[in-house]
Amino acid sequence: MTRIPLLRYSCNGISFDISHSGSAFTIRYYSFSHSNIENVKCLDGALSLFRRMVSTQPLPSVFSFSKLLKNMVNMKHYSAVVSLFREMRKLGVPVNDFILSIAITNYCLMHRSECGFSVLAIYLKSGFPFDAVTFSTLLRGLFAENKIKDAVNLFKKLVRENICEPNEVMYSIVMNGLSKRGHTQKTFDLLRVMEQGSTNPDACIYSIVIDALCKDRMVDVAISLLNEMKQKGIPQDVATYNSLIDGLSKFGKWEKVRNLFLEMVNLNIYLDVCTFNIVIDGLCKEGKVEDAEEVVRHMIGKGVEPDVVTYNVIIDGYYLRSQMDRARRIFDCVIDKSIKPNIFSYSILINGYCKKKKVDEAMHLFHEISRNGPKPNIAIYSTILQDLFEVGKTDFALSSHYRCQKYLSSLTCG
């Protein structure tokens, strides 16, 4: 008997139709609720859901499509997102500015910012206004591709032609991008430009500049900037102090480091594991490993638990002093504390044992990595194999090199 559709309806991601067959009515539901979309955990599931969505009439809401695409971006299925976005355009599925923003983000994560710029044409055609989020994403993409000149030119164009008012996030992306590539003076100059505009720099912005100055060994200027923050009533955070402590530690200015510690305590700024690790690293690089161990005891007393990085720094400190027995003691202490050593822990010890011609100890650790240790990357593996070559373990190094190639090949294929 013929089934006659009487009504089709779609609302909030749930579609259903009511049909009449003889004397019976049938209601069929097609649910594309937010929970259904969020529960998609694999590419096949996402593609299957998309096929159902585009075949449903009327179509689910634009929000449902954006939710699905966003979920796929989070799962890093970037190429699939491109394909679905193009298919939506081909099928005439409506898009909004949020979907276009997702598309731009996706292209930038693929390091294809030029394709992200092509999406701007759809903004213009659809009458959607540009916003700071859109251009912030493009700027972040350009910096990720190391296109510094293009990023700076885009930022200048936005400001000069009043296309978009830069906000704190956009400024932080540009300043962070410049500072990470060694353009300290440009980062500092941009801070001064920002201060003259309508967007006031916050603690995050100042922290970026202070970190850049410290990494460029301009610690005195960084401290002046900290004092400027205090005068303007801008609250400092742990990132601000960590950068300064790192800069001062590299110059061995431990009294000033101590003063910053006291300042943090007075301001109720929590000293985190990163803060202590910076100090411990500075002490170890000066050969003051016993002092570094004293800092570890102090941090434990303050309720801050050391992590594997903390112990790696001390292991490396003893390695640099050729005290491999002490380095091994710290390594064993890590295991006793149920902290899993990482590949750098093993690499430091193997390198140290090879330098001391203690081949058996080095081989034992190398076998431990092979059995149940962390998986090394190619750089670490190369360092370890070079050490084995140098102590005459040529056959073993060659066979290990072959296994390493097979392992790395399996990662690539996977």
- The verdict on 64 and 99 lying in the same domain is yes
Predicted local distance difference test score (pLDDT) of residue 226: 94
Domain interval for residue 291: 271-341
Predicted local distance difference test score (pLDDT) of residue 58: 87
- The verdict on 249 and 277 lying in the same domain is no
In this structure, is residue 34 part of a structural domain? Answer: no
In this structure, is residue 293 part of a structural domain? Answer: yes
At 9, the pLDDT band (50, 70, 90 cuts) reads very low
Q: Is 80 exceeded by the pLDDT of residue 6?
A: no
In this structure, is residue 156 part of a structural domain? Answer: no
Q: Is 70 exceeded by the pLDDT of residue 35?
A: no
Q: What are 122-135's pLDDT values in tens digits?
A: 999 999 998 999 99
At 5, the pLDDT band (50, 70, 90 cuts) reads very low
- The verdict on 140 and 186 lying in the same domain is no
Q: And the tokens for 2?
A: 């013929």
- The verdict on 260 and 291 lying in the same domain is no
At 323, the pLDDT band (50, 70, 90 cuts) reads very high
Q: What are 175-210's pLDDT values in tens digits?
A: 999 999 999 999 999 999 999 988 899 999 999 999
Final residue belonging to a domain, choices 341, 361, 387: 341
3-state secondary structure the chain: CCCEEEEEEEECCEEEEEEEECCEEEEEEEECCHHHHHCCCCHHHHHHHHHHHHHCCCCCCHHHHHHHHHHHHHCCCHHHHHHHHHHHHHHCCCCCHHHHHHHHHHHHHCCCHHHHHHCHHHHHHHCCCCCHHHHHHHHHHHHHCCCHHHHHHHHHHHHHCCCCCCCHHHHHHHHHHHHHCCCHHHHHHHHHHHHHCCCCCCHHHHHHHHHHHHHCCCHHHHHHHHHHHHHCCCCCCHHHHHHHHHHHHHCCCHHHHHHHHHHHHHCCCCCCHHHHHHHHHHHHHCCCHHHHHHHHHHHHHCCCCCCHHHHHHHHHHHHHCCCHHHHHHHHHHHHHCCCCCCHHHHHHHHHHHHHCCCHHHHHHHHHHHHHHCCCCCHHHHHHHHHHHHHCCCHHHHHHHHHHHHHHHHHHHHC
Contact (Cβ atoms closer than 8 angstroms) between residue 119 and residue 103: yes
In this structure, is residue 30 part of a structural domain? Answer: no
Predicted local distance difference test score (pLDDT) of residue 300: 93
In this structure, is residue 48 part of a structural domain? Answer: yes
Q: Is 90 exceeded by the pLDDT of residue 20?
A: no
- The verdict on 116 and 193 lying in the same domain is no
- The verdict on 199 and 178 lying in the same domain is yes
CATH classification of the domain holding 83: 1.25.40.10
- The verdict on 174 and 251 lying in the same domain is yes
Final residue belonging to a domain, choices 268, 298, 331: 268
What's the domain count of the chain?
A: 3
In this structure, is residue 292 part of a structural domain? Answer: yes
In this structure, is residue 181 part of a structural domain? Answer: yes
In this structure, is residue 150 part of a structural domain? Answer: no
Is 11 exposed, middle or buried, given 0-12, 13-18 or 19+ CB atoms closer than 10 A? exposed
- The verdict on 295 and 317 lying in the same domain is yes
Predicted local distance difference test score (pLDDT) of residue 393: 64
- The verdict on 228 and 294 lying in the same domain is no
- The verdict on 261 and 294 lying in the same domain is no
Q: What is the per-residue DSSP string for 121-140? A: HHHHHHTPPP-HHHHHHHHH
- The verdict on 123 and 191 lying in the same domain is no
At 364, the pLDDT band (50, 70, 90 cuts) reads confident
Q: Is 90 exceeded by the pLDDT of residue 353?
A: no
Q: What is the mean pLDDT of residues 58-66?
A: 90
Predicted local distance difference test score (pLDDT) of residue 104: 97
Predicted local distance difference test score (pLDDT) of residue 86: 96
Predicted local distance difference test score (pLDDT) of residue 25: 46
- The verdict on 192 and 214 lying in the same domain is yes
Q: What are 243-288's pLDDT values in tens digits?
A: 999 999 988 899 999 999 999 989 999 899 999 999 999 999 999 9
Final residue belonging to a domain, choices 237, 268, 299: 268
The residue to which tokens 């049909």 are assigned: 19
Q: What is the mean pLDDT of residues 402-412?
A: 53
Q: What are 93-123's pLDDT values in tens digits?
A: 999 999 999 999 999 999 999 999 999 999 9
